[in-house]
Amino acid sequence: MPEPRTDDRPKRSPFKVSVSQLVVAALIGGLAFAITVQVRDDDTDDYSGVRGDDLVELLKSLDSANERLNGQIDDLTDTRNGLLSSTQRSQKAQKQAKQRAEQLAILAGSVGASGPGIEVVVQDPNQQIDAAAILDAVEELRDAGAEVIAINGVARVVAQTYFLDDADQIRVGGREIKRPYRIEVIGDASGLAEAVRFPGGLVDSLENRGASVIVTKKDKITITALADVKSPEYARPTS
């Protein structure tokens, strides 16, 4: 602190620059610089003014909080892992169920199907082919590995399908089938074709009845005809 001085010195002009004024300016500038630096530094470092005991307490509380949070992390990680594995399990089960549902849907004829196979066209000018002959043909095709069978593009042949003679017509699963009969089969094309052309096989037995049969192998057959799916009224699954 400047001590009071008793001598009366002549007042200097404020615009006259002297060395001592420059020194005063430098000191004040240094003070301003230091204050600015310290204030900015305080913004970044909150703990420089905290005493040791307080710091120890702070550290302890942070340690315990850290421990608690670590425990929480472990718990939550366990939960997450459990959920992940159960999700994976249920995804797997869902995938299997979907696959199974697709298989069953094709078997039951509730969805369309496509794949390689053969097309058997039966010309029957003498009207000698009856329901039993068609049923025989279907049985032979099944024997040869047919997976999906449809007749004339309207009647899908599944386990429940019945064949019926009805006044000069044939009914397959309730649907009227007109001549010529066109049987579309999905399965191993070459195996099916050989099986139907086998001596004494499908082609022979149909031609013996005066029909002409054309068998065509196809790379892709698309069957859109669906069977009427009825839910069983009496039967219940045992498992």
Task: Give the residues lining the site for another protein (CB under 8 A).
Answer: 1-5, 9, 11, 14-15, 17-18, 20-38, 40-41, 44, 48-49, 51
Supply the minimum distance, in Å, between the C-beta of residue 61 and another protein: 21
> Closer to another protein at the Cβ: 18 or 77?
18
Cα gap 156→144, rounded to integer Å: 18
Supply the minimum distance, in Å, between the C-beta of residue 64 and another protein: 26
Supply the minimum distance, in Å, between the C-beta of residue 51 and another protein: 5
> Closer to another protein at the Cβ: 19 or 235?
19
Kindly state the tokens that stand for 231: 């839910």
Supply the minimum distance, in Å, between the C-beta of residue 50 and another protein: 10
> Closer to another protein at the Cβ: 6 or 231?
6
List Cα–Cα distances, 207 to 134, 201, 221, in angstroms.
13, 10, 25
Cis ω for the linkage preceding 180 (within 30 of 0): yes
Continuous H helices in 17-110: 19-44, 52-108
Q: Nearest 5 degrees, angle CA 38-CA 44-CA 49?
A: 65
* Count of residues in the chain: 239
CB 227 within 8 A of CB 173: yes
> Closer to another protein at the Cβ: 27 or 69?
27
Query: The tokens 């060395």 sit on which residue?
Result: 19
> Closer to another protein at the Cβ: 1 or 159?
1
Kindly state the tokens that stand for 229: 């799916």
Supply the minimum distance, in Å, between the C-beta of residue 76 and another protein: 38
